[in-house]
Amino acid sequence: MQKFIGAILTLMVLVSCKQTKEPVDVVAKVEVIEKPPVLHYGFNFDDFNVVHDTVRSGDSFGELMLKNKVDYPKIAAISEKFRDTFDVRRIMVGKPYLILKSKDTSEVAKVFIYQNDKINYTVVDLRDSAAVAYKSKKKVKLVEKEVGGIINSSLSEAMDNLGVDYGVTIALSEVYAWSIDFFKLEKGDKFKVIFDERYINDSIYAGYGPIKAALFEHKGRTIYAFPYVTDSLKNILDYYDQDANNLRSTFLRAPIKFGYRLSSRYNLKRRIAYYGYKVRPHKGTDYAADIGTPIIATADGTVVESTRRGGNGKYVKIKHNSIYSTQYLHMKAQKVKKGDFVRQGDVIGWVGMTGNTGGPHVCYRFWKNGRQVDPLQEKLPTAEPIADSLRAGYMSHIEPLRWQLDCIEFVDPAPEPEETLITYNQ
C-alpha cells in the first residue's frame, strides 16, 4: 500500500516538473475599451474652444455674439423666434455663461449657454443655419437631512448654529405661521425638521427642497406637520397635524412675513397731540417696515380695489367671502389690479409712504360683515380638516414620517461659553 501511495506521489511530481520544463505559450488577448466622452451641458467640450465668462454691465446677447463672429441676421432671428424660451433682453449682470467656439482659426461661436441659476440653464445652438434654443437642468442629487434643535433665543439663530440654510428657517416658520407666534417663542421650545438638500456633482450645494415633515414644541404643546395633497386635480398641498387638522388658518397673522414692527394697534379711543388730543379712532393695525418690503394677501380672495385715494394713498382691497374683506394702505406701488384672484401669501404690493403717513408702513384694515374690527382680537376661522374619505389614507401616509421624526434627537446648538484665562501677578 505504501509503495502504491509513493508511486502516485512520484507521478504527481513528474507531471508537475514536466509542466514546468515544457511551458505552454499563452497569448493574452487585450481588448481596448474606449471610454465615452465626458459631456458638459450635453456637449463634448473637447470638440470646442470653451470660453467661461459672466455678463458684465453693458453686455447684451447681440454684442456678445457679434464679438464671436455670429452675423447680425442670425442674431435678430434668434431674438425674435425664441423670445418665449430665451428673452435676450433679460440677461442679467453677474450671470455666468459659456461660449463654445470652433477649433479652427475662425473661432466662430457655435453654442451659447446661459446659466439661469445653479441648476437651470438655457442653450442656444448655432451650429445649423436654423438655430435651436431650449432650456435644461443639471443633474441634481437629493440628500435627505434631519435636524432637531432647542431654541435659546430665536429659531433663526438655532437653525443657523445647526448649519441649516436660512431658507429652511423661513419655510418652517411659514408651515407654522398660523399656529405659532414666532415673535413670542420661549427659551426651551424645540423643533425637528426633515427636508432634502440639493447637490450638483455630489458636492456643489444648490439649495433645499420642501419640508417633508416637522415637529414643533411650543409652551408644552407638540404640533406635528405633514404635507399632503387633498385635491390631485388642482394639486393643492397643505400641511396637516397628527390629527389630520389643517395647520393653515383662513387668515395670516400679518400682511408682512418678516422685518416688521407692530407700530400702532386698532384703537377707537386714540388721541393725537397734533390734533389737540381729540379722539381720532384708528381702525387699522400698522406694521412698520422698510420701503419696498413686500406686502402679502392674508387670505385667498378677489381684488375689488387697487387705486389711490386721499389719505389712504395707494392701496389694495380684497374681498375674501361674503363675511370678510381686508385692505392694505400707503403702498409704494401695487402689484395687482381690480378683478385679480390672489392666493394667501401672494405679494400684492410694497411698503411705501403714500397718503397721510409719518413713516413707511402698511395700515392693515379688516372688515367683518361690513364693519371694521381688530384682527388681533378676532377668533379667525381655520381651514377645513382632511375629509373623512381621505383620513385613513393620510394617517397611513404619515405613520413612517412620524416614526422618523420621533427618532431625531434634540441638539442644543448654543455655543459653549469662552473660557476666561486668569493670570496672577508673581
Residues 12-47: tens digit of each pLDDT: 544 444 454 455 565 666 666 667 777 888 899 999
> Is 405 within the bounds of a domain?
yes
Mean per-residue pLDDT over the chain, rounded: 84
Q: Return the higher-pLDDT residue of 372 and 249.
A: 372
CB 367 within 8 A of CB 326: yes
pLDDT at 6 (0 to 100): 53
C-alpha distances (whole Å) from 330 to each of 210, 307, 325, 421 are 34, 11, 17, 55
> Is 29 within the bounds of a domain?
no
Using alpha carbons, select from 311, 289, 308 the residue that is nearest to residue 359: 289
Query: Do 191 and 177 belong to one domain?
Result: yes
Using alpha carbons, select from 281, 302, 304, 365 the residue that is nearest to residue 330: 365
Q: Return the higher-pLDDT residue of 215 and 106.
A: 215
> Is 73 within the bounds of a domain?
yes
C-alpha distances (whole Å) from 279 to each of 154, 268, 271, 317, 357 are 39, 8, 5, 26, 18
Residue 248 carries which side chain, given as an amino acid letter? R
Q: Give the CATH number for residue 185.
A: 3.10.450.350
Mean of the pLDDT values across residues 160-172? 92
Query: Cβ contacts of residue 182 below 8 Å, gap of 6+?
Result: 155, 173, 176
> Is 7 within the bounds of a domain?
no
Query: Do 244 and 145 belong to one domain?
Result: yes
pLDDT at 191 (0 to 100): 96
- 142's grid cell: 437629493
> Is 24 within the bounds of a domain?
no
Mean of the pLDDT values across residues 303-311? 93
pLDDT at 22 (0 to 100): 55
Residue 8 in this model has a pLDDT that exceeds 70: no
d(CA 328, CA 307): 11
pLDDT at 426 (0 to 100): 40
Mean of the pLDDT values across residues 373-393? 83
Using alpha carbons, select from 200, 224, 230 the residue that is nearest to residue 212: 224
> Is 275 within the bounds of a domain?
yes
Mark which of 119, 137, 155 sits at the end of a domain.
Answer: 137
Mark which of 91, 119, 137 sits at the end of a domain.
Answer: 137
Query: Do 271 and 343 belong to one domain?
Result: yes
Query: Do 368 and 265 belong to one domain?
Result: yes
pTM value > 0.75: no
Mean of the pLDDT values across residues 189-204? 91
- 322's grid cell: 361674503
Range of the domain at 203: 139-249+382-415
Using alpha carbons, select from 58, 235, 206, 212 the residue that is nearest to residue 137: 206
> Is 310 within the bounds of a domain?
yes
> Is 306 within the bounds of a domain?
yes
pLDDT at 13 (0 to 100): 46
Query: Do 299 and 221 belong to one domain?
Result: no
Mark which of 137, 171, 197 sits at the end of a domain.
Answer: 137
Query: Do 148 and 115 belong to one domain?
Result: no
Phi, psi of 157 (to 5 degrees): -65, -40
- 39's grid cell: 459631456
CB 293 within 8 A of CB 351: yes
Query: Do 54 and 107 belong to one domain?
Result: yes
Residue 192 in this model has a pLDDT that exceeds 80: yes
Query: Cβ contacts of residue 313 below 8 Å, gap of 6+?
Result: 329, 330, 331, 352, 353, 354, 355, 356, 357
Percent of the chain whose pLDDT exceeds 70: 84
Beta strands, E only, 80-153 = 96-101, 109-115, 120-125, 132-137, 140-150
CB 148 within 8 A of CB 411: yes
d(CA 361, CA 353): 7
Query: Do 204 and 279 belong to one domain?
Result: no
Q: What is the pLDDT of residues 43-62, one digit of tens each?
A: 999 999 999 999 999 899 98
Q: Return the higher-pLDDT residue of 32 and 81.
A: 81
Phi, psi of 318 (to 5 degrees): -125, 130
Query: Do 237 and 314 belong to one domain?
Result: no
Tell me how far apart the 2 most distant CA atoms of the chain are, in Å. Answer: 133
Q: What is the pLDDT of residues 241-271, one digit of tens each?
A: 999 988 877 788 789 987 777 877 777 656 5
Q: What is the pLDDT of residues 269-300, one digit of tens each?
A: 565 554 555 656 678 888 999 999 999 999 88
Residue 7 in this model has a pLDDT that exceeds 90: no
Query: Cβ contacts of residue 88 below 8 Å, gap of 6+?
Result: 60, 61, 62, 78, 79
Using alpha carbons, select from 144, 143, 111, 132 the residue that is nearest to residue 41: 111
H/E element, 400 = helix 388-407
Query: Do 266 and 363 belong to one domain?
Result: yes
d(CA 147, CA 191): 8
Q: Give the CATH number for residue 311.
A: 2.70.70.10
d(CA 237, CA 233): 11
Query: Do 153 and 232 belong to one domain?
Result: yes
- 221's grid cell: 404643546
Q: What is the pLDDT of residues 107-164, one digit of tens each?
A: 999 999 999 988 899 999 998 877 889 999 988 899 999 999 999 988 999 999 999 9
Residue 9 in this model has a pLDDT that exceeds 80: no
pLDDT at 425 (0 to 100): 47
d(CA 403, CA 160): 25
For residue 424, the tally of other CB atoms under 10 A from its CB is 4
C-alpha distances (whole Å) from 30 to each of 25, 27, 33, 387 are 16, 9, 9, 67
Query: Do 98 and 63 belong to one domain?
Result: yes
Domain count, the chain: 3
Task: pLDDT band for 424, please (50, 70, 90 cuts).
Answer: very low
Residue 264 bridge partners (DSSP): 286
Place of cell 392693515: 364
